[in-house]
Structure 1
Amino acid sequence: MALSSGPLVTSLLLFLVAFSLHNAHASINSSWKNAAHNNIGPKKLISTPKQNRHMLLAGSWKKAHATFYEGGSGTFGGACGYEDVVKDGYGLDTAAVSTVLFNKGLACGACYEIRCVDSPQGCKPGQASIKVTATDLCPPNFAQSSENGGWCNPPREHFDLAKPAYLKIAEYKAGIIPVQYRRVPCKRQGGIHFTITGNPYFNLIKVANVGGAGDVVKVQVKGEDKLTWTDLKRNWGEKWETGAMLTGETLTFKVTTSDGRCITSERITPKGWQFGQTFVGKNA
């Protein structure tokens, strides 16, 4: 029987069209992948870095004045409760700040960059600036004018520097010098120090050597057994109190600084810790 060639030819034409379309699609798809690869690389996503919301940045420069006071590592931490500024991680580059800056102890642990300006006879040449930690209060003297002796009277912003720090930027004979200052992040060696004193019914925790913003706005503690997260109350300076039962617990501390950064130091005490001991946590 003879077969018609019409259907065969039609089927062949349809096959060729489909084949051509498939190859064209493959070619376009391949070209698109190559173009994409050349622009962003294989399987890579383009993203913009996120800013660290909890990173204190250096502030703008402001005008103030500075003097100095005598003392040592055991006295430069007075109003903030630091018994020894060297052991607490701050060294001798510290300052007692005026009432306005001290802000009822909220400034304790904060860091400032200070430079001597506009005093050719008072500023020490070759020293650009120093960085100091606020560890004490320069009390007001209302018996004297804020322009003549009452340097720390409100609303003045004033730094009474520890003598070793002052002598890095100014001559001893200058007495009082004009300065510029700005708030800066604190760089610390090692972790946060927690010193626990008191008794089983009243605990006083000193928090020191805090990096970043440096100044603490909140402290919490919890144990491993019975004690749940408990807020501590600022007693004075960087001394924080609680009547919660801490003894017999392995303790975890959480510290929040003024820039919102929260640092948790997990299980840093043994279960049998003793009052008067200092424990070192994290600083990041």
Structure 2
Amino acid sequence: MEFFLKHITWFLCITVLLPALCTSQYTYVSSRATYYGSPDCYGNPTGACGYGEYGTKVNDGQVSAVSRLYRNGTGCGACYQVRCKIPQHCSSDGVTTVVTDHGEGDRTDFIFSPRSYAKLANSPASSEVLFASGVVEIEYRRVACRFSGRGLVFKVHEGSKYPFYFALVIQYVSGINEITAVEVLQEDNQQWRPMRRVYGAVWDLQNPPTGPLSLRFQIASGRATAEVDWMQATKVIPADWEAGAAYPSDIQLD
């Protein structure tokens, strides 16, 4: 009887809890949102993710700062569908926004660029109402990032100092994926050297190898299943790399 009950319990956990875990990624979470001032209505070029200009206009400037979703930088680049809860003024689809910064608001999870915030509304007149209110009740869920026709871009951070100090930002991370570790191949001994997450989406390495740089990076699925895998980019950074330069690739993560 005890054996039977144990197996019944296990069966219920699989049939009841597992579907809930698998679908929880797609259920909406209630919260609040506000917006920050911007003269051009785009994002913040000095955001905590370290994206620079990429963080201002990626996703057509529909970007946001987040508080607890920032997760010490792991949440940088994640995409969320957000919609507000005023039926007469809010769009049914809301806005798909990309996380590019960290920020704290009045019990808010999202602080939008003006372009993002305006997309919550169902008309220009309703947009004025939302801006006047300053803070709105919302619901949000994690969704896949889509960058049509774009592979990963490996941006050498402006703070890099050739050839002694190398810092990197990986852009256009598509799907529901997060970069959780980055390593550089030391060609002379075929060993992978780990990079350090400096802050946000910025990784660095003192005294990087000479010659073209091969990278590998750990990808964690943002889904409830939390799958983890490694992907390699062979000689994706040229030997004469420059601070501020962006090196595109055809690597797709979804």
- Relative to the length of structure 2, the TM-score reads 0.73
**Relative to structure 1, is the Cα distance of residues 61 and 177 closer, same or farther in structure 2, using a 3 angstrom cutoff?**
same
CA contact (8 A) 2:81 2:94 kept: yes
Query: Does residue 179 in structure 1 map to residue 138 in structure 2?
Result: yes
Structure 2 unaligned runs (5+)? Answer: 1-21, 122-126, 222-227
Counterpart of 1:47? Answer: none
Structural mapping, 1:58-207, within 5 Å = 58-71=25-38, 72=40, 73=42, 75=44, 78-85=47-54, 89-98=58-67, 100-117=68-85, 119-120=86-87, 123-124=89-90, 126-139=91-104, 150-151=105-106, 156=107, 158-170=109-121, 171=127, 172-189=131-148, 190-197=150-157, 198-199=160-161, 200-207=163-170
Query: How many residues matched?
Result: 211
Cα deviation per residue 1:114-145 (whole Å; 9 max; x = unaligned)?
1111x245x33x44221111111113xxxxxx
Give the Cα–Cα distance (whole angstroms) in 1 for the partners of residues 114 and 56 of structure 2.
18
* Percent identity (aligned): 26
Max radius of gyration: which structure? 1
1:268 pairs with 2:233: no
CA distance in 2, matches of 1:244, 1:233: 13
Structure 1: tracts of 5 or more residues without a match: 1-54, 140-149
Relative to structure 1, the CA distance from residue 211 to residue 89 in structure 2 (aligned partners, 3 Å threshold; closer, same or farther) is same
Following the alignment from structure 2 to structure 1, what is the Cα–Cα distance between the partners of residues 95 and 26? 15
Residue 138 of structure 2 aligns to which amino acid in structure 1? V
Shift in Å, 1:174: 2.7
Compared CA separation, residues 192 and 283, structure 1 to 2 (3 A): same
Q: 2:171 aligns with which of 178, 186, 208?
A: 208
Please report how far the alpha carbon of residue 184 of structure 1 lies from its aligned counterpart in structure 2 after TM superposition.
Answer: 1.3
Query: Aligned to 2:70, what secondary structure does the other structure show?
Result: helix
Q: CA deviation at 1:179?
A: 0.7
1:60–1:127 Cα change, 3 Å: closer
